[in-house]
């Protein structure tokens, strides 16, 4: 695959047009393989968010083309967008790899999955229904579900295109209009998606994309009094800031998909080799840059040493390098800040007494490459067992009993995901019932599909994405009661 590709869109997208930022400022987006500038992107801030909100409000007017559109037609527009994404899959995947550093093969998988998510929500457009409620023989009471209005969406850099579709899907299916801020590290595919939305035929103002920085463009979205809902995926730290901004402005609805330190528990009845592969993929997928990564691997003491051997072999066999090379398993991390954070945590693990079984260092002279790292002899009080690393670092802890591991697995402020590997259905069900996490995967991991709700307990978030539950975040329920006049 080519490493260079023509960058077609670098401006903000407002009211179906690409425009420069009001300030005229631009910022660089870089290739994490070599830190070279790919393109200069228009830098949106409050003035641009205001313009986008005005456009989104016009598009949401009750007499607008979008609001008057038959829901079936709305679904057809979404299917058309999915068709265009499929048509341009190679280009979008190339942009994603160039901007993010994930392997081209992984980028292709992400975009194919995104098409499935978009088509799932397209099918919901004409199936969002209210109900009738019995309230006696003098009234008829019914409910209808209505779009919440103009929504703000802020997405991360780890799955740039997929997170965009996770946000757009339910927002468009319900009939909302939106302003999306992509991560400043990875704006390219979001801008291309905006162009495809226009090509698909979405009316002006329905979709707006404002690249920029969190403290300026992101804050303007969270604080805007005309935005009725904000959806954010990213760190728990920023989730606190967004929720506070929503409270101080207009009490806009908030949904947050935040950090995690997810446990994956492996019992002694498991096939150790197979379990090691599941655990390997659970943490090293997407270079470890995954909010629901299985980042605490709990292994039963009876199979611990054997498991370590397999985990070490898998990490050592993992090929790090050019993400466009078909033999590469892992490309670079996103930027220097993330490398610094990952290496700080790796060094803390070494200092606190964990044993490095594989990796433990940066690799290469250019770019942001980190060796796939495996730690054994990890204890619950170590930083690497408590803090979200968001990198290719597997921490393997030892346990003896089911009750013990449940208690330890729950001893965290996070609760996004979890997994258990066992042949004993009773153990699996007891674990699934007791674990404080939004997803529980039994004998598998990362089993995320369009129809299954995804989100977190505790500080891993508020609300759910995907499935029917994801629609509810974008809908208001209106109750209508009609008095029946008795005949004389």
Q: Give the residue numbers annotated as catalytic, written as ranges.
A: 257
Give Cβ neighbours of residue 352 (< 8 Å, ≥ 6 apart).
Answer: 382, 383, 384
d(CA 28, CA 184): 9
Query: Of 257, 360, 325, nearest to 102 (Cα)?
Result: 325
- What is the SS3 assignment for 330? strand
First to last CA, the chain: 80
Given a contact cutoff of 8 angstroms between Cβ atoms, the answer to whether 474 and 171 are in contact is: yes
Give Cβ neighbours of residue 56 (< 8 Å, ≥ 6 apart).
Answer: 150, 177, 178, 179, 205, 206, 208
Given a contact cutoff of 8 angstroms between Cβ atoms, the answer to whether 257 and 232 are in contact is: yes
How many residues are recorded in the chain?
A: 488
Given a contact cutoff of 8 angstroms between Cβ atoms, the answer to whether 23 and 45 are in contact is: yes
d(CA 304, CA 324): 36
Of the CA atoms within 13 Å of residue 266, those in its CB half-sphere come to 31
- What is the SS3 assignment for 441? strand
What the block records as the tokens of 420 is 């258990």
**Tokens 């946000």 identify what position?**
167
d(CA 264, CA 440): 9
- What is the SS3 assignment for 442? strand
Give Cβ neighbours of residue 309 (< 8 Å, ≥ 6 apart).
Answer: none
Dump the DSSP string for 138-191.
TEEEEEEEEE--EEEEE--SSSHHHHHHHHHHHHHHHT-EEEEE--TT--HHHH
**Tokens 């729950």 identify what position?**
410
d(CA 444, CA 451): 17
> Sign of dihedral through CA atoms 312, 316, 322, 323?
negative
Q: How many CB atoms lie within 10 A of CB 330?
A: 25
d(CA 339, CA 318): 18
Sort strands 17-19 and 12-14 into parallel, antiparallel or unpaired.
antiparallel
Give strand ranges (E) for 155-304.
Answer: 177-181, 207-209, 229-233, 253-257, 263-266, 296-300
């Amino acid at each position: 695959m080519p490493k260079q590709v023509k960058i077609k869109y670098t401006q903000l997208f407002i009211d179906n047009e690409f425009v420069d930022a009001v300030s005229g400022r631009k910022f660089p987006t870089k290739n994490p393989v070599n830190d070279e500038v790919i393109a200069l992107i228009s830098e949106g801030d409050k003035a641009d968010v205001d313009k986008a909100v005005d456009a989104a409000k016009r598009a949401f007017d009750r007499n607008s083309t979008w609001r008057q559109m038959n829901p079936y037609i709305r679904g057809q527009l979404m299917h058309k967008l999915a068709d265009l994404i499929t048509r341009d899959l190679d280009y979008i995947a190339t942009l994603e790899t160039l901007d993010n550093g994930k392997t081209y093969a992984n980028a292709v998988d992400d975009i194919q999955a995104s098409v499935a998510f978009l088509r799932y929500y397209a099918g919901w457009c004409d199936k969002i229904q209210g109900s009738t409620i019995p309230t006696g023989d003098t009234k008829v009471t019914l409910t209808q579900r209505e779009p919440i209005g103009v929504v703000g969406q802020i997405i991360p850099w780890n799955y740039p295109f997929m997170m965009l579709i996770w946000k757009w899907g339910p927002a468009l299916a319900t009939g909302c209009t939106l302003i999306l801020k992509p991560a400043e590290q990875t704006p390219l595919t979001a801008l291309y998606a905006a162009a495809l939305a226009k090509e698909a035929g979405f009316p002006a103002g329905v979709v707006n994309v404002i690249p920029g920085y969190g403290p300026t463009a992101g804050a303007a979205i969270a604080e805007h009094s005309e935005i009725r809902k904000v959806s954010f995926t990213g760190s728990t730290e920023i989730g606190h800031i967004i929720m506070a901004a929503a409270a101080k402005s207009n009490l806009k609805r908030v949904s947050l998909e935040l950090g995690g330190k997810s446990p994956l528990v492996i019992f002694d009845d498991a096939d150790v080799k197979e379990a090691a592969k599941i655990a390997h993929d659970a943490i090293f997928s997407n270079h470890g840059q995954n909010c629901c990564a299985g980042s605490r691997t709990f292994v039963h003491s009876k199979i611990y040493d054997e498991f370590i051997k397999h985990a070490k072999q898998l990490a050592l066999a993992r090929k790090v390098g050019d993400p466009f090379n078909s033999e590469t398993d892992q490309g670079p991390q996103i930027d220097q800040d993330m490398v610094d954070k990952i290496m700080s945590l790796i060094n803390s693990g070494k200092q606190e007494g964990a044993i490095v079984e594989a990796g433990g260092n940066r690799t290469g002279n250019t770019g942001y490459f980190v060796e796939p790292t495996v730690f054994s002899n990890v204890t619950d009080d170590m930083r690497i067992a408590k803090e979200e690393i968001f990198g290719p670092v597997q921490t393997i802890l030892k346990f003896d009993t089911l009750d013990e591991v449940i208690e330890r697995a729950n001893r965290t402020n996070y609760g996004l995901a979890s997994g258990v590997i066992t042949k004993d259905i009773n153990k699996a069900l007891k674990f699934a019932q007791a674990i404080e996490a939004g997803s529980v995967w039994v004998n598998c991991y990362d089993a995320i599909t369009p129809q299954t709700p995804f989100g977190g307990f505790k500080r891993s978030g508020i609300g759910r994405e995907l499935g029917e539950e994801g629609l509810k975040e974008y809908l208001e329920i209106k109750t209508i009661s009609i008095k029946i006049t008795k005949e004389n």
